Amino acid sequence: MSAPTVDRPATLDFTDHRPRRRRRLRLLVVVLGILLVAGACWLVWFSSVLSVQAVRVAGVEDARGQAVLQAAAVPRGVPLAVVDTEAPRQAVLGLDWVESVDVRRGWPNEVVIAVTARVPIAVLAGTEDRSAVDASGRVFTPEGTTVKGLPRVRAEGVGLQAAMSVLSTLPDDLLRRVVSLSATTRDDVDLTLRSGDVVRWGSADQAEFKAQVLRAVMKRKADVYDVSAPELPTTFRAR
């Protein structure tokens, strides 16, 4: 008769494995984070998914829009994140009819060139409409915009700036009557009206007051109306 056997109780493992699991979980999260960041960097900086597929011009169109695109020369197929926006901006500013420009990225696949064009308010006399002038006195080539019917100006330098300051502050009823103007300094702007009469306007100061005085004195027939000192206006016949 064999001796009876006694089963030994199983050895109990009281080791806490939770810290190890937490370390593994943290490691997994870190690895996944690194993979996500690497994937995002590749997507933005190196892949063609977010590359330039279109270049859009806002603010001008037709011939001027094409001129902007040609000057900007933004490369297509380049990742949008690495596109140089300053070089196209400076290139477009080189167009003399452009007053300001902003080049920005339009995610996911577009570059937008926002242009503000100079607005012609006069034409330099003797240039056969090839040289327009804006309100600041800047001379530029009037590409893609009409200058027919604008006043002719004979002036340069400080005189040109003064003449444009006067012209840009004239009320509409007087502006419509001006066919030409001239100036040599900031204080001697002369206007020639459609009637052939001359208005000695002087400087751009007190524009509203001068306009009121001019309307009053023009009720009297004359060839020259001098409102350069509006407190003491004068009129006389030159012919």
Cα of 98 vs its chain's centroid, Å: 8
Report the pLDDT value the prediction gives residue 236, as an integer from 0 to 100. Answer: 87
pLDDT of residue 221: 92
CA distance 236 to 2: 151
- 47 pLDDT above the threshold of 60: no
Cβ–Cβ < 8 Å for 161, 136: yes
Q: What is the pLDDT at residue 153?
A: 97
Tell me the pTM.
0.76
Q: What is the mean pLDDT of the chain?
A: 86
At residue 9 the predicted structure's pLDDT band, cuts being 50, 70 and 90, is low
Cβ–Cβ under 8 Å, residues 177 and 193: yes
Structure tokens at 175: 């502006």
Q: Which pLDDT band, with edges at 50, 70 and 90, does 21 fall under?
A: low
Q: What percent of the chain shows pLDDT beyond 70?
A: 78
Range in 16-20, 106-110, 177-181, 232-236 the model is least confident about: 16-20
Q: Where are the alpha helices (DSSP H) in the chain?
A: 18-41, 62-72, 86-93, 157-169, 172-175, 207-217
CA 213 to chain centre: 38
93 has pLDDT over 70? yes
Q: 181: which 2 tokens?
A: 């103007």
- How many Å apart are CA 227 and CA 235, to the nearest integer? 9
189 close to 154: Cβ distance less than 8 angstroms: no
Per-residue pLDDT for 88 more than 90? yes
What average pLDDT does this structure show over 124-136? 93
119-166-139 Cα angle (round to 5)? 40
The interaxial angle of helices 62-72 and 86-93, nearest 10 deg, is 130
